Structure 1
């Protein structure tokens, strides 16, 4: 993810010197990886069930590395677009999550997924800060070469240090099932969050079609000094994320925080795209944007997990990721076209309009249940007994939903930890080493 994000703050200006440049093609190059990621991420996850996690992950990293090399060597917009599209075909997210699920104990899986989410968020922040600095020393071509090197290093880590699972199986809480797609897409509550992440990443990518030009042309800040804008803005905005979410969780105000963050995103667009801009005004607009973006980026996966029926959680996450990647694609392509046709004001009208649409959708969102996911190893069961066990688990105080997967020997629960009867639940736990 670091490799994909590094060019975000610097590519639009670099693209002007490539043959065949248009603003539309520059935006397409920024976002095209999202299209190929959306197409391949779920199939790669399913393929990893059949041929193994590590071969699929290694193949994805090879494709990503080849795409990086192609983009580094390209002298034309078409060449970079092909390279970026090939980067996106290395869609290993689902396979990585499945590998983590294979290698972690059931009771530690939620914690492991949280760590992965934090790592992805950190990679985005690092990319925004490092992109302009790296561009100064190695250029955008150098960033693409660096990305290829990182892919090669990741393959080495995968093959040398990452254990090979003794047994790979389909995990309901992390992997998609094609038979569940229609039901997940028909769930309006889940669809609200899918629309949200689509808009969020659409606006993000469209923004970076324009912001590099804004900093150079309206603020007078050369590209190799853009870090002076991003460093304080990103660090300050990141610092408020955890306190904001913790306070909202504690006071059961998650819905209000989400709606407020969407509105702040919309306000940031109005500030950013004014005709008269100064360094401080742009810094304020970007602070608003990144503060709201980081809050929403951290909240939405958790809201999907809480809203999804426990036996559809993996599929819900897969569909959510597909919407996220498609948002990046549409934002890049449409943002580039609008910038070429109508300058920054066209992008502003578009981003503001879709954020207001999301705001109206968000107003209908209900306050999420105060629940967390809990996995309990219950031992392999006969299907009939698994259904009985799910009913028994569901009757425990604090358990709001329970599904037992007979062949996995795992119960997937939604629990309210504030009232959960831990003693009653522990009676159903099967010793891990006895399975």
Structure 2
């Protein structure tokens, strides 16, 4: 049975919110490939430990405020919280643009991160899309983040050449206000606010999520992945300049072809893992590649072509892991706590960004480049051990069905009956949301039977 496509309204909501998310993330990613080269122009910027803190500072405030902002959006409205976050992003960017010392830069970056609106955006998207289309809509945002990251690595060095770092921060502020106008004028306003267990964190399920060993493995993974990423960017711009002999404005010539190639080779790996139920094997192999790349960077960044080869390995592994981690979260998290699991995962990712920047800068100051990548290698080695012992996830996907606004049945009884149908591995009916959350086999499940059973209960 073929599901219906996104409606024009849902397509508008999904595309516009993906665009808003992309504008914000583009601003956050844009400085990564060149900030370490600019920092010495600031007072105190010759202290690389402070440079690392400035680079990762947004992650700390984002980690702290992400879940509270999402919950606040349930009370005062999604768009109000998004407006607040984008204004904070713009203010932080202008603080950074005017900074003449590293401490003001750190403060500005922290204010940028305080605009932690990802949870509010996903909640708004859930308000604006039907349950059966929400996974597709969320995938649009996920894809936009990956493309934005690649574009920012290529665009950052060129923009630095033409605009300078203050000009880039002014541009980020302008993009933030453009995103605010887009939320106001383009993104639809929901007729009502609802809580969505698949998209929002629920404090009642937080303890269970934090105690689930499989989810803890994935949370460590996203922490390690982004800690290593930020640590790498505290030194890689310097390596490309000093060892590779490239001026800052030329760094895009390295990043662009590598990112394009990594994206191309990532796609068959993801398809193979999903279609052949070999996702764990692909996942663990990618961690192994990441470990090899980080170890190589610790030992052999002594020529331009070594740098290129190791960056190619790094970004291939990074793209695969960044794509498979959310899929694994969705497969492993309890159906009624998926939003909470994603919220914890996102907060852990942001904290990894902060800690990676801070530790990377400190290690480079005191012990040099090999120590930075030695730390990254240690993180990856720990992840490889942890991931190798994880249970292979079932080849399932999440499906959601609306069970009717006037439904008054027994949620436990309906959950039991849905769970007994062919191919349904988990079924939870949440009466307050009027939604049935199902985990079903990717290839063989009784969709017609699910729809018939839901219709019979109305």
TM class by shorter-chain length? over 0.9
After superposition, give the CA deviation of every residue in 1:317-360 in whole Å (9 maximum; x if it has no partner): 00000110011001000000000000101102111111101111
Residue 383 of structure 1 deviates from its aligned partner by 6.9
Instruction: Give 1:7's aligned residue.
Output: 31
Equivalent of 1:196 in 221, 225, 229 = 221
Match of 1:132 in 2: 157
Aligned residue among 380, 385, 389 for 1:364: 389
Residues 50-100 of structure 1 show CA distances to partners (whole Å, capped at 9, x for unaligned) of 000000100100001100010011011001100000000000000000000
**How many Å separate the matches in 1 of 2:422 and 2:301?**
59
Contact in 1 for aligned 2:90/2:177 (Cα 8 Å): yes
> 2: distance between equivalents of 1:231 and 1:397?
46
SS in structure 2 at match of 1:400 = strand
> Structure 1, residues 369-393: CA drift from partner, whole Å, max 9, x if none?
1000001111146776122111111
In the superposition, the TM-score normalised over structure 2's length comes to: 0.92
5+ long unaligned stretches in structure 2: 1-24
Aligned ranges 1:334-349 → 2 under 5 Å: 334-349=359-374
Aligned alpha-carbon RMSD (Å): 1.4
Q: Which of 69, 76, 82 matches 2:101?
A: 76
Instruction: Flag the 1:275–1:400 CA change in 2: closer, same or farther, 3 A.
Output: closer
In the other structure, the counterpart of 1:86 is 111
- Does 1:420 find its partner at 2:445? yes
Q: Partner of 1:256 in structure 2?
A: 281
Cα pair distance change 1:418/1:341, threshold 3 Å: same
CA distance in structure 1 between the partners assigned to 2:275 and 2:419 by the alignment: 25
Question: For the residues of structure 1 that align with 2:351 and 2:301, how far apart are their CA atoms?
Answer: 33
Alignment match, 2:40: 16
Moved more, 273-282 or 365-374: 273-282
CA gap of 1:220–1:372, structure 2 versus 1, over 3 A, is same
Match of 2:59 among 26, 34, 39: 34
Instruction: Give the 5 Å matches for 1:174-323.
Output: 174-274=199-299, 277-323=302-348
Contact 1:377 1:430 in 2 (8 A): no
CA distance in 1, matches of 2:172, 2:329: 31
Maintained 8 Å contact 1:5/1:124? yes
Question: Retained in 1: the 8 A contact 2:277–2:394?
Answer: no
C-alpha separation in 2, matches of 1:83 and 1:271: 34
The answer to whether 1:121 aligns with 2:174 is no
The answer to whether the Cα contact below 8 Å between 1:380 and 1:410 also exists between their aligned partners in 2 is no
SS in 1 for 2:150: helix
CA distance in 2, matches of 1:111, 1:396: 24
Unaligned runs of 5+ in 1: none
Distance 1:61 1:323 in 2: 22
Task: Provide the C-alpha distance between the structure 2 equivalents of 1:193 and 1:417, rounded to a whole number of angstroms.
Answer: 22
Question: Number of matched residues?
Answer: 432
